[in-house]
Amino acid sequence: MTDFVRIVEVGPRDGLQNEKSVIATADKIALIDRLSRTGLRTIEATSFVSPRWVPQLADAAEVFTGIHREPGVAYPVLVPNETGYDRARAVGVEEIAVFTAASEAFNRKNINAGIDESIERFRPVLARAAADGVRVRGYVSTVLGCPYQGDVPVADVVKVASRLYELGCYEISLGDTIGVGTPLKARAMLQAVASVVPLSSLAVHFHDTYGQALANILACLEEGVRVVDAAVSGTGGCPYAKGASGNVASEDVVYMLHGMGIATGIDLERLSETGRWLAALLGRETGSKAGKAMAAT
Ligand code: HMG
Ligand code: MG
């Protein structure tokens, strides 16, 4: 059987949440609809967070109701609390992602709560999701370093990941929020988490601040991870993570995987066209090296 990696496309959410200029709702919808035609199976569509905290995604409900939902594609959204859950469910969301961090300091800046408090907020959300048949993904941020705390002990990552898993998240995405990780550290962190959460329920989420994302992903693939988060055109960053730059570009990850003989189900040509379309919309060059190279050939 061919080896397969599922790409979780986070461009419409992580990619856009930190953009300074206002992006029109119609353009966000067009982006998701284009991505839906590339063969992606999971597209994180938007965030039902507080519009005061992330004004760029204040149109979450309009975006979600405006997209064409392709059969077989999941469109999860970020939900920080029950208010977010209510808003998401009111427009027919069927999959959500909750998010916390391995660092107390980052969590306070990002969601105005400590780790324990954030888990307590998620408890009723997960209970309601279970009753409603809604799937829940869980994010752990700052798994390889925190902009406020500095080093983050691997034991803290393990603890938070296992708490989210026990709470009922079907998959835990391990986020190097500020892209400071390097391959051996990424591998060691993944190995430690995999001792308490099955590897088949783990995903990796790398930002490319120091140009390490693909190398880190390769190290984690060798360890057996088969779900990788990425953002088309390499957009992204968290507004509450000082110094965080773009996510690893989806096109670059897909190019690497296909080159390794690993299937993704994604049409790389269409994906890189979408990346260039988005870059033009944002008024800059694509952040994907593969996307740029493919345009030149
Ligand atoms: P808070 O201010 O402490 O909230 O924010 P609160 O519960 O005290 O409520 C204050 C007001 O906000 C109330 O309104 C609530 O109704 C409203 P008022 O009574 O004053 O009129 N409110 C909401 N409105 C809409 N939707 C909601 C919502 N919740 C409360 N869901 C909160 C706490 C968590 C809401 C806030 O801190 C927040 O929204 N933070 C989100 C920050 C964020 O989105 N960060 C980026 C995503 S995480 C990330 O990028 C990392 C990741 O990519 C992985 C990685 O790279 O590591 C996932
Ligand atoms: Mg992120």
Query: Residue 107 Cα, ligand 2 centroid: separation in angstroms?
Result: 13
Residues forming the active site: 238
Structure tokens at 114: 């400590």
Residue 84's pLDDT is: 98
Which of 9, 10, 49 to probe ligand 1 with, by most ligand atoms within 8 A of CB? 49
Query: Residue 207 Cα, ligand 2 centroid: separation in angstroms?
Result: 7
140/110 Cα distance (integer angstroms):
12
How far lies 199's CA from each of 98, 217, 221, 287, 290, in Å? 19, 14, 11, 30, 29
Structure tokens at 188: 């060691």
SS3 assignment for 216-262: HHHHHHHHCCCEEEEEHHHCCCCCCCCCCCCECEHHHHHHHHHHCCC
Q: Where are the alpha helices (DSSP H) in 133-212?
A: 154-167, 183-194
The residue whose CA is least distant from atom 32 of ligand 1 is 111
Question: 152-179 as b/e, with b when 16 or more CB fall inside 10 Å?
Answer: bebebbbebbbbbbebbbebbbbbbbbb
Query: Residue 77 Cα, ligand 1 centroid: separation in angstroms?
Result: 13
Residues in the 5 Å CB sphere of ion ligand 2: 14
**Any atom of ligand 1 within 6 Å of the Cβ of 245:** no
Cβ-contact 288, 249 below 8 angstroms = yes
Residue 243's pLDDT is: 67
Of the candidates 174, 147, 156, the one whose C-alpha atom is nearest the C-alpha of residue 239 is 147
**Any atom of ligand 1 within 6 Å of the Cβ of 175:** yes
Q: Which helix (H) or strand (E) holds 62?
A: helix 60-66
How far lies 33's CA from each of 69, 119, 221, 239, 264, in Å? 8, 33, 29, 25, 19
The residue whose CA is least distant from atom 47 of ligand 1 is 238
For 167: left if phi > 0, alpha if psi spans -120 to 50, otherwise beta; the answer is: alpha
**Any atom of ligand 1 within 6 Å of the Cβ of 106:** no
**Any atom of ligand 1 within 6 Å of the Cβ of 141:** yes
Phi/psi of residue 278, nearest 5 degrees: -65, -45
Query: For 213-266, how does the pLDDT look when each residue is reduced to its tens digit (9 = 90+)?
Result: 999 999 999 999 999 999 999 999 877 877 677 999 999 999 999 999 999 999
245/177 Cα distance (integer angstroms):
9
Residue 245's pLDDT is: 79
CB atoms within 10 A of CB 218: 17
- 47 Cα nearest atom in ligand 1: 44
**Any atom of ligand 1 within 6 Å of the Cβ of 95:** no
Query: Residue 89 Cα, ligand 2 centroid: separation in angstroms?
Result: 23
pLDDT < 70 regions, the chain: 243
**Any atom of ligand 1 within 6 Å of the Cβ of 61:** no
